[in-house]
Amino acid sequence: MGLPTPRPIPHKPFVQFWPSIAWTTLALTLNADGTSSRELVGASPFPRHWIYDDAGTLVQKSATIDFNAWFNHSFGDRTPWGEQDSPAVVAAVESALERSLSAERLFTFVYLTERSALDELALDDTIGATSEPWPLVAQLVRRASFDLVAAYTERVRMEPSEAAIVDRLTTLHTRVLFDAVLAKEVERAVRYHFPISLILFDVDNLSAINEAHGYGVGDKILERLGILIRQYFRHHDWVARHAEDAFAVLLSGADAAHAGSLAERLRESVAERLILTDHRSDLPLSVTISAAVVNVQVALGHAIDPERLLTDAESALARAKQQGRNRVERVDDYSGAGRSESPAS
């Protein structure tokens, strides 16, 4: 396992992410009495390597870490962060491999790595910030960030943990992960002055449905909603279970302009397609959702508080409920709009 690293090339796609070179050599000894032993006899100097037994217990770990030797062997002398690699990045990589990261730390690490790569590539004469291929280069770097997060998410999903970032019922991201994403995306929107939209969906009368038909029916509704909501948004959009009966979606850039229409289409689709049957009475059970859309046009020097943005969305969702449910409440402003103490750099 290694950290994919961007390298500029003089033709399309103008940047490539080179895989790392890592290897592990194990010696397995089978004894006549049926017992066995294993030994780590060789490994690449970085990253660290772990050996587990059949019960999943860690039995051996390589202790030698020589990041520079491994990196130079894999990539050469030049790195995205200059002639020498940042000790902070090396430490972060080792930490990510050795322990489960909190969502906040994971996104901080990915964000700082992405920014370091983009800042270095921006100075390149061929593919830098003033060149024609720069938008594609920046897109590829950001896609690599998503791939890194996706790989970590998949690992956590396969390894049960209290810090899991995928909700098992709906298969969407958890609230903890979404809060971390929201903070970072708001930070990016303020820095680069692009619009963002936050959508909240809430199942109408879910408590009453649980009481009348059982919590199994309520779980089935949430499970199907998770699948349906995921289909309405692109793979790189952030979709999460926001609360017991609520979902959140974050759109940024050009996608934000379609937030209102997407929310309305999803509301209509749920009302038309999500119809369950109560097996005790054989009567159909219709499901509807209410939604809130908060659109924010970020101006130069404006500051946005992620928590206040969420509060605006929750207030709009409450209004949609109060005004009859099964509707979309749209807010084209941010209640905390104001200028920061210093313009975003």
| Last residue of one domain, picked from the residues 112, 139, 158 | 158
Query: Do 13 and 149 belong to one domain?
Result: yes
Q: Please indicate, yes or no, if residue 345 is contained in any of the structural domains.
A: no
Query: Do 20 and 149 belong to one domain?
Result: yes
Query: Do 297 and 220 belong to one domain?
Result: yes
| Last residue of one domain, picked from the residues 118, 139, 158 | 158
Name the CA radius of gyration of the chain, rounded. Answer: 24
Higher pLDDT, 107 or 190: 190
Q: Report the length, in residues, of the chain.
A: 345
Query: Do 153 and 206 belong to one domain?
Result: no
Residue 97 predicted with pLDDT over 70: no
What's residue 275's pLDDT?
A: 84
Query: Do 210 and 276 belong to one domain?
Result: yes
What average pLDDT is seen over the chain? 75
What's residue 72's pLDDT?
A: 58
Residue 69 predicted with pLDDT over 80: no
> Residue 19: pLDDT band by 50, 70, 90 thresholds?
low
Query: Do 194 and 106 belong to one domain?
Result: no
Q: Please give the full DSSP string across 94-125, using - where no structure is assigned.
A: HHHHHSPPPHHHHHHHHHHHHHHHHHHHTT-T
Query: Do 144 and 198 belong to one domain?
Result: no
User: How many domains does the chain divide into?
Assistant: 2
Prior bond to 47 cis, omega within 30?
Answer: yes
Q: CB-based burial of residue 264 (10 Å sphere; 0-12 exposed, 13-18 middle, 19+ buried)?
A: middle
CA distance 6 to 119: 12
What's residue 96's pLDDT?
A: 44
User: In which domain, by residue range, is 153 found?
Assistant: 5-158
Query: Do 220 and 148 belong to one domain?
Result: no
| Last residue of one domain, picked from the residues 135, 158, 181 | 158
Could you tell me the CATH number of the domain that includes residue 227?
A: 3.30.70.270
> Residue 254: pLDDT band by 50, 70, 90 thresholds?
low
* Phi, psi angles (nearest 5°) of residue 223: -65, -45
CA distance 333 to 259: 14
Residue 118 predicted with pLDDT over 70: yes
Q: Please indicate, yes or no, if residue 249 is contained in any of the structural domains.
A: yes
CA distance 84 to 49: 24
Give the range among 24-38, 242-256, 295-309 with minimum mean pLDDT. 24-38
> Residue 282: pLDDT band by 50, 70, 90 thresholds?
confident
**Per the confidence metrics, is the pTM higher than 0.95?**
no
Query: Do 129 and 198 belong to one domain?
Result: no
Tell me the pLDDT tens digit for each residue of 127-163: 888 888 888 888 888 888 777 777 766 665 555 454 4
What one-character DSSP code corresponds to residue 244?
T
What one-character DSSP code corresponds to residue 70?
H
